[in-house]
A = this chain, B = another copy of it.
């Protein structure tokens, strides 16, 4: 009899498996329908021996010391500050928009102070900020909106920014200095030997059994367990009884080139040209040295694995209905798919660690079935 059946071996499921097995001495069966652990953070060596991320580039960054310390039990780190350029009008300029971006794009020589005035001069007067378009146009004006946001958003979501909630683009800041890091978090590091190795260390415990290639529907009748922790899509769990929660997906196209380096930064965005949104060159992220180099192109698409919850009010409403069911259920729901929220990895780790604390408190109050019997 397993104490917990955990569905999904990504960050959410693996953190809970580790905590319950190692700290609470619970017997855990961790399953995933894919043939590997790690969820969307899974990395592996491609046929040329280059470490790649199967589900698109994953860069770890967090402000949470708790999350960073927790993961540090399972990996060493390599400092890495991600940089992104946008390929625009035949040049490549830093993203998020900073002083260099503007000076390069408009052939200017502004100072930081002058840049604020530049943005102010471009900004449009938007009375009521409701959509993504409103946010950007109000901050930096229509020209920069057209260059950086309109096309990229159209590709990424198949929606015009005017159709998207203001909250979506609120995340894209501008900077008046030359800071060209994509993230500004305190901790920016990659697991030294990759994500999969980190997951292996996390799950390397005698109380944790791992079953792959396994959808939970296939085994719940055959395998005895006390409680389920679910990190898959919440609508799937409830048989889509209120309809499907909409997701945006991505087709990843991988390519290996017979040269050492392809582009100037880890990622280059293509806001307006081509069907893909961006190209990432993995060796920047991993620090690997190799005489060849592997890239991934991202082509957003409507169909495929559920990656990005689509941030529209009606979807949030639909999720609320599922959440009501989840709250009444005996199963615990954790992670990006189970809570229908675009979380970064560190946020999922934090969510899983709080869920662990909640479960721990419950165990302490009312012992589980098999403990009472013992």
Taking Cβ atoms with an 8 Å cutoff, the residues of A that contact B are 1-2, 35, 45, 47, 49-51, 192-193, 200, 203-206, 208-214, 218-219, 222-224, 288-291
Instruction: Select from chain B the residue with minimum beta-carbon distance to A45.
Output: B45
Contact (Cβ within 8 A) B213 A288: no
CA distance A288 to B47 in the complex (A): 10
Minimum distance in angstroms from A23 CB to a CB of chain B: 18
| Contacting residue for A290 out of B51, B213, B219, B290, CB 8 A | B290
If over half of A's interface residues share one DSSP class (helix, strand or loop), that class is named, otherwise mixed; here it is loop
Given A1-B222, A290-B49, do A213 and B213 touch, yes or no (CB 8 Å)?
no
Say whether B210 contacts A213, CB under 8 Å: yes
A289 is contacted by which of B47, B204, B214, B291 (Cβ under 8 Å)? B291
Q: Is the Cβ of B224 less than 8 Å from the Cβ of A213? A: no
What are 6 A-to-B residue pairs whose CB atoms are below 8 Å?
A: A35-B203, A49-B49, A204-B213, A211-B211, A289-B291, A290-B290
* Given A35-B204, A49-B50, A212-B214 contact (CB < 8 Å): no
For the complex, give the distance between the alpha carbons of A209 and B215 in Å. Answer: 10
Interface residue from B45, B218, B224 paired with A49 (Cβ < 8 Å): B45
17 extra interface residue pairs, beta carbon distance < 8 Å, beyond A35-B203, A49-B289 = A35-B200, A35-B204, A45-B45, A45-B49, A47-B192, A49-B49, A49-B50, A49-B288, A206-B213, A209-B218, A209-B219, A210-B211, A210-B213, A211-B211, A222-B224, A289-B291, A291-B291
Q: Which residues of the partner chain B approach A45 to less than 8 Å between Cβ atoms? A: 45, 49, 51
For the complex, what is the distance from the CA of A223 to the CA of B1, rounded to whole Å? 9
